[in-house]
Structure 1
Amino acid sequence: MFDHLQIQDWRERWLVGCADAALAPLAAMNGWRRGPAPKAPPRRVLLLRLERIGDLLMTLDAIRAVRERAPAAEIRLAVGSWNAELARLLPAVDRVETIDAPWLSQEGTRSSPREVAARILGWRRDELDLAVNFEPDVRSNALLAASGARRRIGYDTGGGGGFLTGALRYDRAMHTATNALRLVDRALPAGGGTLGSAGGLALGIPEGAETRAARLLESHDSRRPLVGINPGAGRAIKEWPAPCFAAAAAALAEQDAATIVLLGSASETATAAAVRDALPPHVRLVDLAGDAPLVDLAAVLRRLSVLLTADTGPMHLAAAVGTPVVGIFGPSDPVRYAPLSRRSAVVCADLWCRPCGRMRRPPRRCEHGTPDCLSGIHVDAVVDAARRLLHESRRDH
């Protein structure tokens, strides 16, 4: 039942499906009001991308396409507060607004009902012409409807199609960035928009962040090549074991005389420490775990020769600033989430059960310890991928 919804847990799918059925009259009303797309270009546009760092970064091409197709519009981008600093670097966006959605935020950081209501009232007061939701979720579709925008474009595969005036099915056979461009095509049919190239996607990194990144690296013995190691992934089920990261780092230090730059957020310092403790003492190491805020991290990543990383935000950030990336994938699907760069490699195990995509509710056999799809990735495969990218970069320069 409700198989049109791309929701793995049957209980959640049943609940959202029942809500969708109740919304059917609203969907019909939206159909009566839809009519042809207005000929005049939109003046005020709201883009909703409330999820994590990687989700925002995979939407950069789509945001840029909105600007290309509506050059005179005021474009506002609503993000979680964790992404606000990064969002302000996007030249296509006029205004950044924050909403820490309860279903995406930790206790204590969520926007209060009063804050959400104030944001919605502001949108309604401004009489938005167009709103686009890049998240396939019934709750953010409801938020889009509450904005009062005349046209509301989003995915119906997470539920809430009745809240939209233009609904699209999220295609799991396509990259998330390609799906986002499809939404823009639906909202603003004219124009182009292409996926990220080898040069990465344009991010205007502030000079202060560049200076701080240079200072962090220069304060250590950081001779090139600089090999970044980013072992954390936000969820343990997506993390390659620390001893494997350490073995790959040690091999690159020995074979390519690399300096290892250890990375991680403040909440991932324990994961980074496990890698650090497993490294041989002769490895030249720069430990920046917990020391680089998001924008400074972008500047650090830009200076690396290659990054070895789990499937997580810094993987996409490295691709966005043009750094070669080796993405190590377990249960998540590289077809949808691979780094957007020609100078990248994806390493994953050849198992029948992957990618299962079950990060929130793992299979019982994977609930404790490292899942087979990650423990089955050999160190040599990661090292070989990194060395290929290193040698290609040397040849290009």
Structure 2
Amino acid sequence: MKTLIIGPSWVGDMMMSQSLYRTLKQLDPNNEIDVMAPAWSRALLNKMPEVNQALEMPIGHGEFAFIKRRQIGRSLIANHYDHAIVLPNSFKSALIPFFAKIPKRTGWKGELRYGLLNDIRKLDKSAFPLMVERYVALAYPRDQIHSAKDLPQPLLWPKLNVKQKEIDEALTSFTIPQDEPLIGFCPGAEFGPAKRWPDYHYATLADMLVKQNARIIIFGSAKDREVGDQIIAQMVHSDKCINLAGQTKLEQAVGIIAACKAIVTNDSGLMHVAAALDRPVVALYGPSSPEFTPPLSDKAEVIRLITGYHRVRKGDAEQGYHQSLIDIKPDRVFETLMNLIMRSKKSNG
């Protein structure tokens, strides 16, 4: 069996999709799984043992490029895939498997993809409340899984395989001391500050952790560099914090996160990476809902003060923060984090 997956275009979604790959491999250990996704995702896919090959998607997110998709599809005919699973819901994402003449093409209905997909599923969102459940359901025959309750439990959560050599090389590249416990902060989030815990709260928490002999590492993309600098500027012990936002390649960030004792994070893609690395994670949620995309780990603790989903692009405060995140105080996060670290130590013997 050879399977082509058309993968997601976001870090968090890519991490959650590993549950599908693990499930497919459990159902058929001989299944060769190739994943077509943006070039950046290779840093994650190469650490997923279930993935045979990461294929670069040369077309940008949101770009239709019909002719190019037809060319890519035809170039894949020689691979003789038996099955394709299309994870994005767009019409264009189903074109490549169609042009590759893959006999079975599975996916949720999405943008009226009749014909492009010949194993099409109609999604009842209430029956599959979690995104990871929607991904895993596609591993099974259509008539076998009608809701998340039909999925074999427990689900196989994402689990990245990172070698110690990769961790050591990443730490050395940024001259990060290895004689202090590292606590990672992921203060960024898509759609701006409305999904972010305030920088001044991060700064207060950082100083509390430094008093426990920790060193703080800030992760994120180039657009998170500014918020990282703001956190450091408000710290008393700023010499104990390193801002790596925008400085690392994704594979380096993965290696350094794997070296951290724990991670404090907003609802972000790196939150899912940290969970897949089996790090203790304190996840801070505001308007976005953990009922759809929670961190998939027994070592994760979610803090959220409101319920339901709130479609918010701008927060209440002058800085753009959402009041529900402002109301999560550093003392509570510190206590939750310390308890998680102690629990993790006990579970590890």
| TM-score range relative to shorter protein | 0.7 to 0.9
What's 2:224 paired with? Answer: 268
What's 2:148 paired with? Answer: none
1:154-193 equivalences under 5 Å are: 154-157=107-110, 159-161=112-114, 163-166=116-119, 167-169=121-123, 171=125, 174-186=129-141
Report the residue type matching 2:125 in the other structure: D
1:136–1:159 CA contact under 8 A, matched in 2: no
Classify 1:330/1:364 alpha carbon distance in 2 versus 1 (closer, same or farther; 3 Å).
closer
Deviation at 1:187?
6.5
Deviation at 1:90?
2.0
Deviation at 1:239?
1.8
Could you tell me the TM-score, scaled by structure 2's length?
A: 0.85
1:259 has 2:215 as partner: yes
Report the residue type matching 2:109 in the other structure: D
Match of 1:99 among 44, 54, 57: 57
Per the alignment, in what secondary structure is the counterpart of residue 224 of structure 2?
Answer: helix
Cα distance in 2 between the residues matched to 1:187 and 1:148? 21
What's 2:198 paired with? Answer: 241
Report the residue type matching 1:245 in the other structure: Y
1:50–1:100 CA contact under 8 A, matched in 2: no
Deviation at 1:274?
1.3
What's 2:244 paired with? Answer: 288
- Extract unaligned runs of 5+ from structure 1: 1-42, 105-109
Report the residue type matching 1:386 in the other structure: L
What's 1:8 paired with? Answer: none
Classify 1:98/1:134 alpha carbon distance in 2 versus 1 (closer, same or farther; 3 Å).
same
What do the CA deviations read for 1:142-199 (whole angstroms, capped 9, x no partner)? 44444432212111255435532221415355322222111112369699574356xx
Match of 1:140 among 93, 97, 103: 93
1:229 has 2:166 as partner: no
Classify 1:280/1:100 alpha carbon distance in 2 versus 1 (closer, same or farther; 3 Å).
farther
Classify 1:347/1:69 alpha carbon distance in 2 versus 1 (closer, same or farther; 3 Å).
same
Cα distance in 2 between the residues matched to 1:127 and 1:141? 17
Classify 1:283/1:53 alpha carbon distance in 2 versus 1 (closer, same or farther; 3 Å).
same
1:99–1:116 CA contact under 8 A, matched in 2: no
Could you tell me the TM-score, scaled by structure 1's length?
A: 0.76
Cα distance in 1 between the residues matched to 2:318 and 2:87? 30
1:49–1:135 CA contact under 8 A, matched in 2: yes
The percentage of aligned residue pairs carrying the same residue is: 21
Classify 1:157/1:367 alpha carbon distance in 2 versus 1 (closer, same or farther; 3 Å).
farther
User: Could you tell which deviates more after superposition, 56-65 or 221-230?
Assistant: 221-230
- Extract unaligned runs of 5+ from structure 2: 146-150
Cα distance in 1 between the residues matched to 2:295 and 2:89? 20
How many correspondences in the alignment?
Answer: 340
Cα distance in 1 between the residues matched to 2:207 and 2:315? 33
Classify 1:85/1:112 alpha carbon distance in 2 versus 1 (closer, same or farther; 3 Å).
farther
Cα distance in 2 between the residues matched to 1:300 and 1:388? 22
Deviation at 1:86?
1.8
Deviation at 1:340?
0.8
1:157–1:170 CA contact under 8 A, matched in 2: no
Match of 1:63 among 14, 21, 25: 21
Per the alignment, in what secondary structure is the counterpart of residue 48 of structure 2?
Answer: coil
What's 2:166 paired with? Answer: 209
Cα distance in 1 between the residues matched to 2:114 and 2:289? 25
For the aligned residues, what is the CA RMSD?
3.0
1:145–1:152 CA contact under 8 A, matched in 2: yes
Per the alignment, in what secondary structure is the counterpart of residue 334 of structure 1?
Answer: coil
Classify 1:189/1:245 alpha carbon distance in 2 versus 1 (closer, same or farther; 3 Å).
same
What's 2:104 paired with? Answer: 151
Larger Rg belongs to: 1
What's 1:378 paired with? Answer: 329
Cα distance in 1 between the residues matched to 2:295 and 2:255? 18
What's 1:390 paired with? Answer: 341
Report the residue type matching 2:198 in the other structure: P
Cα distance in 2 between the residues matched to 1:247 and 1:307? 15
Deviation at 1:299?
1.5
Deviation at 1:228?
0.8
Match of 2:320 among 359, 369, 392: 369
Per the alignment, in what secondary structure is the counterpart of residue 249 of structure 1?
Answer: helix
Report the residue type matching 2:282 in the other structure: V
Cα distance in 1 between the residues matched to 2:23 and 2:316? 43
1:274-313 equivalences under 5 Å are: 274-281=230-237, 284-313=240-269
What's 1:195 paired with? Answer: 155
What's 1:349 paired with? Answer: 305
Q: Which structure has greater helix proportion?
A: 1
Classify 1:330/1:72 alpha carbon distance in 2 versus 1 (closer, same or farther; 3 Å).
same
